[in-house]
Chain A
């Protein structure tokens, strides 16, 4: 017995080291697996608060640019409205009494953004208090950004499209052929669309959009355009390199999309099984 105690005392440093190393490696493995890491997350009050203070200061330096971005977006939306009116010749007054809107959009600010690792996350300054929930899509005016992964009261952690654990269903704009969009490290502006059937007609410059298959993103959110494509080893499917419309290293304001009919659709699927 004394030998055992002696052993512990003599090797207490090594034992402590191994014990703590196992804990930290456990946390690391957890963050790398799709099984989401719940323990260590920046969406807590302390780190969220610190990042928010930094963002408050930083955002002043980007005011001109964000104004510019908003004006461009407004312009695009204006054009859409005008063309829409032109088709119908009458002004549309939306009748909100008959049906509820399918999607609700929340706006949020990015307060911390990573893109240099393999598994990147984005922190935004809205949380459960503002009706944000897990598995809601996050976009900007230019394209998709990621999916809400975890919310706290005031902050949410978004799993970035630049994360090897995230896969989004996407399709070509001019046909219905779809594939899986993922990222495997490297250039923060290029992602990969795999499993596109060989029958699909692809050309460089084609636009890739989301398809409404998952309940996360509505159909038609722009993603990027094709810069290169080739057949995979089995020569059955195309692997397409896509350049994102979004500059992932520079995002300020984002929109979070809530699918209001998600619950209903999910219930329908469950009742089927």
Chain B
């Protein structure tokens, strides 16, 4: 087990605990909860093989589901974003992804923002669709996606910038 694996396991546990103990209790305006835990999938090293990322995404979502009594909705949402992650990485970062040289923090803010926003909103949309599970609630689904998505993006940007400074 390398040092990196330990960091990743620690991050996994920490983010899941933070999500279920603190963040899912916020209920801002009654229903807005940020999903910070997908930060784990965002900052995974890009040279990880895809099948590992998919498996990790599934486990990440499932562990949140265990706490939230939500069946498999977090697992499904995480699966979708971890499956589309390579494609989104290529779309957001272009050439530097193909050379596999960049790290999450070293990229320009524009590229990073594109990546974070697309990932968060896909995740949030799948999540809301499965939570409400009914097209008669479509307005509620979109509202939930929009507000929780904005909340999540902001939180992810804050957390990532905090931790980058701590490392330097």
Contact = CB atoms under 8 A, between A and B. Distances in A.
Interface of A: 12-14, 16-17, 20-21, 23-32, 37, 40-42, 44, 46-47, 50-51, 54, 112, 114-119, 121, 123, 157, 185-186, 188, 249
Interface stretch (B39-47, B72-80, B97-105, B111-119): B72-80
Given A16-B51, A28-B72, A31-B70, 14 more contacts: A13-B50, A17-B54, A21-B80, A24-B72, A28-B133, A30-B71, A32-B71, A40-B66, A40-B70, A41-B66, A42-B68, A50-B21, A121-B69, A186-B140
Nearest to B134: A118
Contact of B71 (A12, A13, A27): A27
Closest 8 CB pairs of A and B: A31-B71, A27-B72, A24-B72, A24-B75, A24-B76, A121-B69, A28-B71, A116-B31
28 contacts: A13-B50, A13-B54, A16-B54, A16-B55, A20-B58, A21-B76, A21-B79, A23-B58, A23-B72, A23-B75, A24-B62, A24-B75, A27-B65, A28-B70, A28-B133, A29-B71, A40-B62, A40-B65, A41-B69, A47-B20, A50-B21, A51-B21, A54-B21, A116-B27, A116-B31, A117-B131, A118-B133, A185-B140
A271 B61 CA distance: 47
A181 B136 CA distance: 21
B33 interface: yes
B12 to A, nearest CB: 14
B78 to A, nearest CB: 9
Contacts, number: 106
The interface residues of chain B, by DSSP majority, are classed as helix
A31 B69 contact: yes
Contacts of A42: 66-69
Contacts of B55: 16, 20
B54 A20 contact: yes
B83 interface: yes
Contact of A185 (B17, B67, B137): B137
Interface string B144-162: 0000000000000000000
Interface string B10-37: 0000000100110000010011010000
A101 to B, nearest CB: 33
Interface of B: 17, 20-21, 27, 30-31, 33, 50-51, 54-55, 58, 61-62, 65-73, 75-76, 79-80, 83, 130-134, 137, 140
Contacts of B62: 24, 40
A13 B87 CA distance: 13
Contact of A50 (B50, B67, B79, B140): B67
Contacts of B21: 50-51, 54
Contacts of A249: 27
B51 A12 contact: yes
B137 A50 contact: no
Interface centre among B21, B55, B140 (most CB of A within 10 A): B21
Nearest to A27: B72
Nearest to B33: A116
B22 to A, nearest CB: 9
A245 B4 CA distance: 52
Contact of B20 (A17, A26, A40, A50): A50
A32 B70 CA distance: 9
A24 B54 contact: no
A115 B25 CA distance: 10
Interface centre among B17, B55, B61, B68 (most CB of A within 10 A): B68
Given A27-B72, A185-B137, A46 B79 contact: no
B51 A20 contact: no
Contacts of A30: 71
B67 A47 contact: yes
Contacts of A115: 27
Contacts of A185: 132, 137, 140
